[in-house]
Amino acid sequence: MIGINDIKALDAADPLRNFRQEFALPGDLVYLDGNSLGALPRLAQQRVADTIANQWGQDLVKSWNMHHWIVARPTLPWAVAISTSMVVREPRHFST
């Protein structure tokens, strides 16, 4: 039978154990929900903040060319538009 010490040893030897730090999660939460967006990657949080504050906030319309927005291709099959009172999902067909 596997005991708590065995489990702790497996956790200590897990090569992915430090990967948790890549996500914005509450400290003691065990997050196993695979039927959602998943945990927020810290890198995504930083990139969105940079896009809003710098690319959009500072570079404004120049971002279409400076940051290559003009050639950026959507990677999701759904475009999500957020308004003040609802989320509207519009199906899109994108080339790959």
Would residue 45 count as lying in a domain? yes
Query: Which domain covers residue 37, as residue numbers?
Result: 23-91
Whole-number pLDDT of residue 13: 94
Would residue 6 count as lying in a domain? no
* Residues 77, 96: Cα–Cα separation, whole Å: 11
Q: Is the pLDDT of residue 87 over 80?
A: no
Would residue 50 count as lying in a domain? yes
Whole-number pLDDT of residue 73: 64
Percent of the residues in the chain that have a pLDDT greater than 90, as a whole number: 12
* Residues 50, 52: Cα–Cα separation, whole Å: 5
Would residue 13 count as lying in a domain? no
pLDDT tens digit sequence for 44-76? 888 888 888 888 888 888 888 888 887 776 654
> Contact at 8 Å (CB) between 19 and 39?
no
Q: Which residue has the tokens 């790959």?
A: 96
Total domains in the chain come to 1
Would residue 70 count as lying in a domain? yes
